[in-house]
Amino acid sequence: MVPDFREIFESHFSYVWHVLKRLGVAERDLEDLAQQVFLQVHGQLPKFVSSRPLRPWLFSFAYHAASNYRALSRHRVELSIVAPEQADTAAGADEQLITRQELELAELALSRVALERRAVLLLHEVEGHSIPEIAESLSIPVNTAYSRLRLARQEYEQAVSRLRAQRGEE
């Protein structure tokens, strides 16, 4: 049975939008690219295996769209920093500032991780998917997925260290 496209679109548009943003798509292009992703999803929906989880499948479409987007020379220099979606009203102003700075640091460090490794890192660390699921959704060997995760973690930690040093933090 083919899943209902409208339901998928309405339930997962925000997810795809955020994935694209984490993969380095500029704010001004997010909505258009998310719609392009869903056009591709619509075309491939009859091929979806309902026993597989939907989000890694959607992530693979977003990953390929972001990869193609970033291949365009006009997008190579842009960095996307995510501001917090909602400020914690219970925290004081100083705590909110620290939280925002940490989020900006994390997003900037993430943007310094190579896209193919960042995809694996996001799927595993943020989305919580297993390496075999990630390998299947990205059509890569399992050992490659493990290697990309290891390298992504290293790149991320190195980027955080460099950024903290640039800010004068230790």
DSSP 81-146: -PPPSS--TTS-HHHHHHHHHHHHHHHHHHHTS-HHHHHHHIIIIIS---HHHHHHHHT--HHHHH
- Give pLDDT, residue 81: 46
Which residue segments constitute the domains of the chain, with CATH numbers given? Answer: 1-80 (1.10.1740.10), 91-170 (1.10.10.10)
Averaged pLDDT score across all residues of the chain: 85
Instruction: Give the C-alpha separation, 34 to 51, whole Å.
Output: 24
Q: Which of 108, 45, 63 is nearest to 81 (CA)?
A: 108
Q: What are phi and psi of 32, to 5 degrees?
A: -65, -45
CA distances from 40 to 32, 127, 145 (A): 13, 22, 24
- Give pLDDT, residue 51: 84
pLDDT digits (tens, 9 = 90+) for 76-130: 444 444 444 554 455 566 566 667 778 888 888 998 999 999 999 999 998 899 9
Instruction: Give the C-alpha separation, 12 to 168, whole Å.
Output: 40
The confidence band for 170, taking pLDDT boundaries of 50, 70 and 90, is: low
pLDDT reading at 167 higher than 90: no
CB 34 within 8 A of CB 17: yes
The confidence band for 49, taking pLDDT boundaries of 50, 70 and 90, is: confident
- Give pLDDT, residue 1: 67
Q: Which of 31-35, 65-69, 100-104, 163-167 has the highest mean pLDDT?
A: 31-35
Of 149 and 2, the one with more pLDDT: 149
Q: Look up the pTM and report it.
A: 0.72
- Give pLDDT, residue 9: 94
* Lowest-pLDDT choice from 1-10, 42-51, 80-89: 80-89
CB 119 within 8 A of CB 155: no
Mean pLDDT of 160-169: 87
Question: Hey, how many other C-beta atoms are within 10 angstroms of the C-beta on 71?
Answer: 10
